[in-house]
Structure 1
Amino acid sequence: MEFRDIEIFLALAEELHFGRTAERLHVTPSRVSHVIKKAERRIGGPLFERTSRTVSLTPLGERLRDGLQPAHVQIQQAVDRAVAEARGITGTLTIGYTTPWCADLALQAAEVFRDRYADCTVRIQEIQFHDPYGPLRRGELDLQIAEVPAPVPGVTDGPVLFREPRALMVPADHPLAARDTVSLEDLAEAPMIKPRGEVPKILMDLHLPAHTPMGSPVPAGPTFSFWAEVPALVAAGLGVSVVACRAARFHSRPGIAFVPFQDGPTLDYGVLWPATGQTPSALAYVDLLVDLAYKPGDD
């Protein structure tokens, strides 16, 4: 078996789905099927059991996977070390993030990155909404995983990693909490909690607007410096906040509810980097982020 064929076999053994395997390896499902059939002909027995609904390894396939996997890992690590040395992937890579789901992705990518590039250290740190681009513009970060686009000079937008439907985080006893959905016009019915600091107006208009699309004013609520303050302020009945629907998995607590929006844009999260350019280490890390973000089941 050629190296690429082994890679396809091992990926299918992990995913147990031809479509997901093809997407992960950037090939067609027919290519995956062809490689597996060729391997089965060469070996002389079935490696997978296939039905219209499921794919599973046969005992022969399991033994082949267990035999190939350690060697494949060693080969890949040797190649990665050579690539790292050739490209200069060394030193320290500092990554910022703004949400827990961005942090999860950053840490997942960092774990893989450290295995591949042992001479490069990865540091992860949280970025606060009241100074969303300062650390990146001051050169304190190499990359940032955050809301995009970034409407400021000195920062360049990279690939989008998540497109999140939005929700309104409201006090559990607020009338809006009983709704199945809310609209942007409903923002006029409760004070909006907003960050302190010099947040670009275009960013505020996108995420925490002062007026509804029809022009109704959105009442001003209390302000915050750190995101951890927001759920507490909402639970106390002091205001509401626009969040990603995924926030319900990370910030649920007594006294608050999350109601999806029926209209409005998604909240998009992606990679930001300094306009001056990217290092080889940063580019290699971004490639990992893209692969992991679009891996099926990540949600």
Structure 2
Amino acid sequence: MERRDIEIFLTLSEELHFGRTAERLHVSTARVSQTIKALERRVGAPLFERTSRRVVPTPIGRRLEEDLRPAEEQIRQGIARAIAAGRGLDGVLRVGFVGTALGQFVLEVANTFHERHPSCRVQIRESHYSDGVGLLLADEIDGLVAAADVGHIRELEQSPVLLREQPSLAVSARHPFARLESVMVEDLARTKVLRPRGIPDDLDEAVVPRSTPSGRVIERGPDFGTVQEMLALVGAGQGVFPVPTHASRYDARPDVTYVPVVDGTALEWRLIWLAAGQTSRIRAFAEAAQDFVAVRGNPLLEG
């Protein structure tokens, strides 16, 4: 019995309709009918009862389905595992993330990825601002989800934008800005803006420019290495820092207030990896992330 014949029989057992079976398998209705008749001749008994209104498995047909379906599923999984191994999609994929809430996003994408590639396990690791791309360069992770555009860096590759959010300004609850409904980039000249430790100047300036639109200097405050360090400094009144909108949910603190920046540059997250370390695994994870976002949108803004 050919595997295609088994596939036609099992699909008809599900659809109970010759036309829908043919459409689903991209074959002609005649092909479905001929296959079933050939199987019935081989078995020596009808597998389906056919009338003008319905198609119903006979007891023999139902028993044959029960016997064949586990075997067919085992074959399908075996082929999938072989393909995954051949394409380098088995083993472990190590994915880092920057930001409190991004761990949840990476885990959800990992679930989508694992459904497609069950032989590949995803390990996640929190990365800090101060790490930059150091974990990638040290081969401690294979990919990094971060709010950075590294398209101009030859050594790195990146996915299309996965998540996009307008920024809010994290300020001390005692800061004058905390009483405002919103601020503008121009207002940053009236305070000190914290600086992420270990971030290249060009990436840092993409988040916080050196000057306001009118040319006023934006003074930089203390630097920080982690999200918690940043929030501690903000809460203590040492400076302010632009953060994504979802921070008001995931990083709520009584000493920190989040104020929308109405004209701020949107924060954009991408999956980043080393060009020299590109694998089928990391490309497949990037595809899974894009597909997940296409269906769910930005899950960090839900609720």
RMSD: 2.8
CA contact (8 A) 1:95 1:141 kept: yes
Alignment correspondent of 2:125: 125
Secondary structure, in 3 states, of the residue corresponding to 1:118? Answer: coil
Secondary structure, in 3 states, of the residue corresponding to 2:139? Answer: coil
CA contact (8 A) 1:167 1:244 kept: yes
Post-superposition CA distance 1:60-94 (Å, at most 9, x none): xxxxxxxxxx99xx699737435423423112211
Alignment correspondent of 1:170: 171
Using a 3 Å threshold, how does the CA distance of structure 1 residues 4 and 280 change in structure 2: closer, same or farther?
A: farther
Secondary structure, in 3 states, of the residue corresponding to 2:248? Answer: helix
Q: 2:74, 2:256 → 1: CA distance?
A: 50
Secondary structure, in 3 states, of the residue corresponding to 2:163? Answer: strand
- Work out whether 1:247 is the aligned partner of 2:235: no
Secondary structure, in 3 states, of the residue corresponding to 1:233? Answer: helix
Unmatched 5+ stretches in structure 2? 1-14, 25-52, 56-68
Q: 2:270, 2:54 → 1: CA distance?
A: 44
Using a 3 Å threshold, how does the CA distance of structure 1 residues 80 and 103 change in structure 2: closer, same or farther?
A: farther
Q: 1:76, 1:250 → 2: CA distance?
A: 44
- Work out whether 1:181 is the aligned partner of 2:209: no
- Work out whether 1:88 is the aligned partner of 2:81: no
Alignment correspondent of 1:235: 235
Q: 2:282, 2:111 → 1: CA distance?
A: 15
Q: 1:134, 1:275 → 2: CA distance?
A: 14
Alignment correspondent of 1:60: none
Q: 1:246, 1:136 → 2: CA distance?
A: 26
* Counterpart mapping for 1:70-109 below 5 A: 78=77, 80-109=80-109
Q: 1:147, 1:154 → 2: CA distance?
A: 18
Secondary structure, in 3 states, of the residue corresponding to 2:296? Answer: coil
Alignment correspondent of 1:66: none
CA contact (8 A) 1:91 1:121 kept: yes
Post-superposition CA distance 1:119-139 (Å, at most 9, x none): 322111122212311222333
Alignment correspondent of 2:158: 157
Alignment correspondent of 1:113: 113
CA contact (8 A) 2:193 2:221 kept: yes
Q: 2:21, 2:286 → 1: CA distance?
A: 24
Unmatched 5+ stretches in structure 1? 7-41, 45-69
CA contact (8 A) 2:182 2:259 kept: yes
Using a 3 Å threshold, how does the CA distance of structure 1 residues 177 and 77 change in structure 2: closer, same or farther?
A: farther
Using a 3 Å threshold, how does the CA distance of structure 1 residues 279 and 181 change in structure 2: closer, same or farther?
A: same
Aligned length: 236
CA contact (8 A) 2:196 2:204 kept: no
Post-superposition CA distance 1:187-209 (Å, at most 9, x none): 01111111223x21111111133
Alignment correspondent of 1:215: 215
Using a 3 Å threshold, how does the CA distance of structure 1 residues 4 and 249 change in structure 2: closer, same or farther?
A: farther
CA contact (8 A) 1:183 1:263 kept: yes
- Work out whether 1:296 is the aligned partner of 2:296: yes
Q: 2:54, 2:287 → 1: CA distance?
A: 34
Letter in 2 for 1:168: L
Alignment correspondent of 1:30: none
Letter in 2 for 1:205: E
Q: TM-score, normalised by structure 1?
A: 0.70
Deviation at 1:242, TM superposition (A): 0.8
Letter in 1 for 2:192: P
Q: TM-score, normalised by structure 2?
A: 0.69
Q: 1:113, 1:296 → 2: CA distance?
A: 15
- Work out whether 1:137 is the aligned partner of 2:137: yes
CA contact (8 A) 1:80 1:116 kept: no
Deviation at 1:142, TM superposition (A): 1.6
Deviation at 1:220, TM superposition (A): 2.4
Q: 2:91, 2:127 → 1: CA distance?
A: 22
Deviation at 1:3, TM superposition (A): 8.2
